[in-house]
Structure 1
């Protein structure tokens, strides 16, 4: 696999959030108080999650241990994984989300976004966020990490990487970043961190964000076997069928889908491979059926 990758080493990260700030500054993203202020929830993480104005969040996890402080920190990075087999790209009906062939990054074109939010529904990492309100005026637009594709094309590293003082972040050829991650994991194993592992090498067809997880996956809340949901591939087939009626018909169909409550979330519906039905997991009701010859009905 060719391309580049962002390298993140959780064992070196101090959660200073310099990367988080750099991302905001370079991409000219606001930090409104209503999105960043929060009541005490037991966590020092801020903001609590990604939002329409925040593409990168450093996560905070605490665990009991035998040190004098009684806790240990597991700092993590939450942002786009830039999967080679990207569910968001498969789900996007307008071509807003595409793969950059040279870098491997998943990039976006805001002008093509219609605010359907299918990308967020499909993403196994729940990364895409949207800004704006209302489908009627198409005011909702996707926002997520682009790998600072503008900087990379100019021969520079992503903004987050340039501001990392403890060298937890790096950027370069993907194969080199994987080799660096594997060597670091061996060092961590030798130091007694038996659960340390590389994440992103093979997941979702291979990612262009490579993580070194000091404590394994559990502390970082990453999925074990992320993949494009089968339902998303069904949706992609359906959209290609609908494309025959023209772009206006596709947009109208998307608006009707969400207006009638059949826009899906992966934790609310499932795909039955035997029947082709999309079923509500709570009620068992058939929400949608795909006929292979006739299309969706």
Structure 2
């Protein structure tokens, strides 16, 4: 399959939150419905941030207008997984719960494999992964790009519901071309800070954003990068694999060498005061009691019918 991408154009977005609702509905993600559970924060952004039951939110920011046509600039953004080409979350995941689809480029999640280590939270430059709690189990939850829909030739749920076409989905190179066209239009209208985000960041993102007011105003990191520990993980994983392989080989060799080997168990005969080999019957030592059980007791405890193991010796 062709490398794919979602295109998000902030200049077309009305921030209706249709994408946010569609994501919850398609992925069966609950929202709090109890009295006073949805507290007004003073902003149209709700919830305030991503959480274990919310993979996508539309953010609202405002500032004094930099162009004199209106008093306030409304700055919208789409906050969710950016689906990095160099995805640190997938690199550090010890259980293979987070993987990158090499065909589409999207970063998938298999929550059944998640061990709840939270490593992915610490390395994401966009602070995206969140965890759901069910009973005593924590597991990661983030945007997956709707691989179940894409496999059937459908758009991701968020894209399918966007009325003003602020969200588009298709081959990544085509989305980049559309982004460039939109950027030229915005520049022509005097939006000097407008830019495309995701072309090269983190090796190239699979969410390409046309930012009407630029990355700084939108709150996206200027130069996203993975922490140094991710590089160490890349080195250690192959080493760990080699060591694991050597361990398995070593254990197998020890097992092979041990086949047919029987330890010469020594027992004490109180009548003769001899220490003898239970296997050969040879006297090993005289007068040195190394075993509290007698020969008779050892023979009976190894009897095939279990005589001597809690039963009668008679």
- What are structure 2's unaligned runs of at least 5 residues? 246-314
Helix, strand or coil at the partner of 2:62: strand
Distance 1:54 1:241 in 2: 37
**Alignment coverage as a number of residue pairs:** 242
Distance 2:24 2:152 in 1: 19
Runs of 4+ deviating beyond 6 Å: none
Contact 1:148 1:158 in 2 (8 A): yes
Contact 1:36 1:46 in 2 (8 A): no
TM-score by length of 2: 0.72
* CA shift for structure 1 position 235: 3.9
Question: Which residue in 2 is equivalent to 1:83?
Answer: 84
Which among 180, 183, 188 is matched to residue 182 of structure 1? Answer: 180
Question: Which residue in 2 is equivalent to 1:113?
Answer: 114
The yes-or-no answer on 1:140 pairing with 2:141 is: no
Helix, strand or coil at the partner of 1:140: strand
* CA shift for structure 1 position 210: 0.4
Question: Which residue in 1 is equivalent to 2:147?
Answer: 149
Question: Which residue in 2 is equivalent to 1:264?
Answer: none
Q: Deviations over 1:175-229 (max 9, x none)?
A: 0000100110011000000010000111000111100000001121111111221
Question: Which residue in 1 is equivalent to 2:45?
Answer: 45
- What are structure 1's unaligned runs of at least 5 residues? 247-297
Matches for 1:216-295 after TM superposition, within 5 Å: 216-238=214-236, 241=239, 244=243
Helix, strand or coil at the partner of 2:183: helix
Distance 1:150 1:39 in 2: 34
Distance 2:37 2:194 in 1: 31
Which among 157, 175, 178 is matched to residue 159 of structure 1? Answer: 157
Q: Deviations over 1:15-43 (max 9, x none)?
A: 00000000000001100247962343x42
* CA shift for structure 1 position 44: 1.9
Q: Deviations over 1:134-161 (max 9, x none)?
A: 8xx5x00100000011100111000111
Helix, strand or coil at the partner of 1:112: coil
Contact 2:89 2:120 in 1 (8 A): yes
Distance 1:37 1:233 in 2: 41
Question: Which residue in 1 is equivalent to 2:249?
Answer: none
Q: Deviations over 1:223-254 (max 9, x none)?
A: 111122112222454455556469xxxxxxxx
**How big is the alpha-carbon RMSD for the aligned residues of Structure 1 and Structure 2?**
2.2
Contact 2:216 2:222 in 1 (8 A): no
Contact 1:3 1:104 in 2 (8 A): yes
Question: Which residue in 2 is equivalent to 1:129?
Answer: 130
TM-score by length of 1: 0.76
Distance 1:114 1:80 in 2: 20
Distance 2:235 2:94 in 1: 10
- Greater Rg over alpha carbons, structure: 2
